[in-house]
Structure 1
Amino acid sequence: MENLIAFLNQNSGALTVVFTGFVTLATVVYAALTVILVAETRKLRQAQTEPRIEITVDALDFAVNIVRLCVRNIGEGPAKNVKFEPAVIDGGELAEILLEEFLSPNFFRTGLRYFGPGQYRFSGYTQTHKDFEAKASSALCFKVTYESVTGKKYVEEIVVDMAELRGRYQLGKPNLYSIAKSMEKIQKDLHHITTGFKRIKVDGYDSDDREREEKEREEWRREAAAELEHHNK
């Protein structure tokens, strides 16, 4: 113990320098981690207020030959002052006609002042059983400008390739659509019954009916036997 105390007393200056170096290094590392944490927090806060617009090709559940565009805000924050600048990339004159069909809703021309997270809008529709190959060969582009609630501006060019339609098919009707149609029919039938428009048909059949039928059959057998006997004479 005395030797250790003597060693510390003799090398106190050097130990102080080493300890100071460790403290300085720890301080630098702590400051760097703080800077990284602040940057990540800023990115996370920005992501929570950042909008993101997507445009996809969407077919109706009950009719895959009827196609429209779905404009959706998939971001975590609302988009403000959304503007659209559509154009044809490929497909020629028929692609121009297709684009006009999609642009029938007015919001493509006037824009959207507020587009909340998770909200979506549909374009006009087109029927792909008419000029399918030409429509499937079309490519459209939408230049979309918008801004977040913090004032950050975004400019994106979204390409819609109609070739996604190739190979699409549907077997039967979707379950939700079939259930909805069945519920609609049940509701209509119940309404007709309660309003007297249609009445439930009930066939009553009891023991008296069975006895009457049995007597009729027995009478028919006697008449048939008598007639047969008459012919045999």
Structure 2
Amino acid sequence: MSGLLRFITSAKTSWIVLVLAALAAAALFSIAGGEESETAPSVGLPDSAESVQVDQLREEFPSADDTSALLVFASDEGELDADTLALINENAMGELADLSREGFVPPAQVSDDGTVALVVVPLEPETDVAAQSERAQELRDAASAGLDGVRVYLTGAEGFEVDIAAVFAGADFTLLLTTVIVVAVLLLITYRSPWLWLVPLVVIGVADGLAGIVARQVASA
């Protein structure tokens, strides 16, 4: 054991350990790293979980492969007049119908006070986050075309998923960058060297990346 410790810490042989560790890390990054996905992540729960069982039962319903977007039209002032409702239905039967799964969108449903209208757009499920966000924008643009004095909101299953994805967009990078800056400043103050602070920062970065790769592989297995 003492011989191994001397080999690791000796000035003549410690560089060998450093090179071997760097090669091992590089190999692990090249083989299992860089795995990126544009799809929404799965829940990762076992089949015994109640939420998974409910999801499996939901697949047996006729509408299991469907999703929908709810477009809410709210008047800025007073009731939606006849011309506005006609234009909403025209948009629904036009571009919104082209985006619909069935090629058809039901007429708008108007609230009792006449200030709000609701249009339900049946859609094909979309797992690609970027494509889903792009489709949501197309829905908003198509629904609001030509409307004046009317606010258009996208909600329902489609709107909820798009908003959740938008909330976390770029959050990982922002958090990581902030952490790196804070740690770098603390290391500069501690070591008072223009270069020495890079060593622990690089080690932490490599260790964090390797931990993520190992965690993904273990979770996948």
Same fold (TM over 0.5): no
Q: Relative contact order: is structure 1 or structure 2 higher (C-alpha 8 Å, sep ≥ 6)? A: 2
Q: TM-score, normalised by structure 1?
A: 0.28
Q: TM-score, normalised by structure 2?
A: 0.29
Max radius of gyration: which structure?
Answer: 1
**Bigger proportion of residues as helix:** 2
**Bigger proportion of residues as strand:** 1
